[in-house]
Amino acid sequence: MSAVREQPPEGRYGRSADERADRKLRIAGAVLGVLFLGLIGWFGWYYVVDSKISAEMIKFDVVSDTEVQVHLEIRKDEGLAGVCTLRSRSEDGAEVARKDVVVDDPGGRVDRVYSLRTTARATSAELLGCTTR
């Protein structure tokens, strides 16, 4: 009695269709993976290196029911002008002040206290962000 083979002999008829499809899928996956990593790297580079102005709120002080003082440290390229947006909120979370402050000092580092007029007593202040002009 002889054994019955269900598959052709190895290497006799070339690759099967499944092996070719698997190889194409692996290549497509690798190409898409490299493109995705490149895109993530480009976004990261743009965010970190290309930002020309950045700021940090050092502290804030609620002076009265109608005023908050915000201490900002701003880093930027020399000679560049920008605008930073500040916001203050009351205890219930309502916005009681918003102000765009112009940063036009020629230096690369600006350390300044800004005053915000509020419509009610504020309990917090925050820096929303800075952009170049």
Q: Give the residue with greater pLDDT, 88 vs 3.
A: 88
What are the tens digits of pLDDT across the range 30-49? 999 999 999 999 888 776 66
Residue % of the chain over a pLDDT of 70: 86
Q: Mean pLDDT of all residues in the chain?
A: 87
Binned at pLDDT 50, 70 and 90, residue 51 comes out as low
Using an 8 Å Cβ cutoff, are 46 and 93 in contact?
no
Separation of alpha carbons 30 and 40, rounded Å: 15
Separation of alpha carbons 78 and 108, rounded Å: 4
- Strand 124-132 to 109-117 pairing: unpaired
What are the tens digits of pLDDT across the range 106-121? 888 999 999 999 999 9
